[in-house]
Amino acid sequence: MTPLPRPRLLAAALALAVGSACAGDADATRDLDAELAALAAPPGLDDGGLTNVSADLDAVLERGAIFGACDRWDAGERDRETTLLCGKWMFFYGTFRGAGPPQVLLEMLGRELPASVGHGWSGVGQIPDPYHDGLPLGWAPSYDAARPGGEPAPIAAMTCAGCHFAQLPDGRYAVGAPNTRFDYGRQLLTLSLLPRLLTGEPASAHAPEAVAEVQPVLDELGDDTRQRLLAALVPILQAGVTPPGATDPDVERAQAGWRPGTLDTFMAPLQPDDGVDIPTRIMALWEIATDEELAAHGMPHAMLGWAGGSAGVAEFVDFFVTWFGDREAWPPERQAPLVAFVRSLRRPTPPAPADQAEVERGKALFVDSGCLGCHGGPRGGSTRAYGFDEIGTDDALARFMDPDGDGVPCCGLDAGGGGQLTRGVKSPRLVGLWAQPRLLHDGAVDGLDGLFCVTTARPTVTAAGYGDGGHLDLCERFSPGEKAALIAFLETL
């Protein structure tokens, strides 16, 4: 019989030891909320009164008050409100002079192809920008590339909101929510292949799976739109502004296989490219651990990213700007409003539970089954990275930024935001699970029902980097009633 990894062995032993408590009969004298105190929001979290969750999109954009806030901040207005408004503008519109496709390509496709691209790229899961027709929130003007004759060629680039702004299942918009509807692979292939195919490159030069992703766009292009798009693009392409994306069919094939809500940050066209296909799920940004919590839990740093190697928000933002933007123009002191804004984000209030008694049973079961052994840190995150033999999830992530496994980051990288290589995976924060239909680090499991194997057994996918195995104890240990109670509790976080 294969021995259980230590966390699973501990959980199994606890489950046997507590007996009736695992069936949901909580001891009335216990203070479960005290035992679960780390799941609560950090004390003193100050969102500055901004509207970061609302069914009113314009309210989330502060009815335009974010525009101009960074000019005021740069001029010396450093009060909390101005700082957070500036940080919020950076979140939605700050490209830090990052590279990207010709802006006209994004705009025209986002305006004129409602079936295949959707207005404002809603067809790939993004949210149209009410202040910029054709662009989604998460793409913004970045800089002007030079063209012969002195005419500028505006370039657009992604912002934080591209991945970390979403519409919740109840219709509200939430800053910091992982956009699990965002089909980044299809968007990237469209922006990369469409200009190439329209200007004469043969489809046979590209992965068939990638061409299939772009074919609906080609089919919807009418002659008029095609000619106007070419008229706008050809001078830009002739000036040396190349479309984003790789021309390696293997890379294209990988991108065509990414599920919505997942992406590999270190794969072409982004540089550096660590040479490993490891798509990971977009994470929530709510309620990142404070310095006081890190000290109280004995954590080395905030353990951001799925490998838990990034030290903190400031370090991660600076890493992003260094590699994907212009750090000379945006040094750490100018990044400070974005850091403050991200640290101010609060989880959205979940819907009221249908059965509070079932929630209480799930709460007791969560504690008594040993779940805090791995989820005992701030907001239910872990306090260390775990080996893949402990958790059982897809182990391709062990090669993240370290493809040859020698323990040294490749490609001139450090470990990502002032942290370290862990060759492991962390337990994520559990807040907002009710609104997250993709789970596990690679996004291979569909929601809590999928995680607990309520209707379908796992694993069903074993391809390296895409597997849905791991945490199988959740499928095997609990009765249907216990699973329902645990899910009811987790959906209240």
Each residue of 45-81: pLDDT tens digit? 999 999 999 999 999 999 999 999 999 999 999 999 9
How many domains does the chain fold into? 3
Report how far residue 203's alpha carbon sits from residue 154's, in angstroms, rounded to the nearest whole number. 28
Q: For residues 489 and 353, is the Cβ–Cβ distance under 8 A?
A: no
248 and 378: one domain?
A: no
Check residue 22 and give its pLDDT.
Answer: 37
Q: Could you tell me if residue 376 is inside a domain? A: yes
Q: What is the DSSP code (8-state) at residue 369?
A: T
Q: Could you tell me if residue 275 is inside a domain? A: no
Domain finish residue from 225, 257, 289: 257
Q: Could you tell me if residue 178 is inside a domain? A: no
Q: Could you tell me if residue 285 is inside a domain? A: yes
Within a 13 Å sphere around the CA of 190, how many CA atoms are in the beta-carbon half?
Answer: 26
289 and 325: one domain?
A: yes
Which H or E run contains 139? Answer: strand 139-145
Q: Could you tell me if residue 172 is inside a domain? A: no
364 and 290: one domain?
A: yes
pTM: 0.92
Q: Could you tell me if residue 333 is inside a domain? A: yes
Q: Could you tell me if residue 394 is inside a domain? A: yes
Report how far residue 327's alpha carbon sits from residue 331's, in angstroms, rounded to the nearest whole number. 5
Check residue 7 and give its pLDDT.
Answer: 41
In angstroms, how far is the first alpha carbon of the chain from the final one? 36
362 and 393: one domain?
A: yes
86 and 102: one domain?
A: no
58 and 138: one domain?
A: no
320 and 437: one domain?
A: yes
The tens digit of pLDDT for each residue in 213-250 reads 999 999 999 999 999 999 988 888 777 676 766 678 99
CB atoms inside a 10 Å sphere around CB 376: 18
Report how far residue 36's alpha carbon sits from residue 358's, in angstroms, rounded to the nearest whole number. 17
Domain finish residue from 212, 241, 257: 257
Residue 210 φ then ψ, to 5°: -70, -45
251 and 398: one domain?
A: no
Report how far residue 450's alpha carbon sits from residue 428's, in angstroms, rounded to the nearest whole number. 17
250 and 386: one domain?
A: no
138 and 219: one domain?
A: yes
Buried b or exposed e, range 81-90, using 16+ CB within 10 angstroms: ebbbbbbbbb
Helices (H), 206-348: 208-220, 223-238, 249-256, 291-296, 313-324, 332-343
Q: Which domain holds residue 204?
A: 95-158+184-257
Q: For residues 5 and 368, is the Cβ–Cβ distance under 8 A?
A: no
In the predicted model, is pLDDT for residue 26 greater than 60?
no
**Beta bridge pairs of residue 212:** none
- Residue 439 structure tokens: 């789970």
- Residue 423 structure tokens: 């060759």
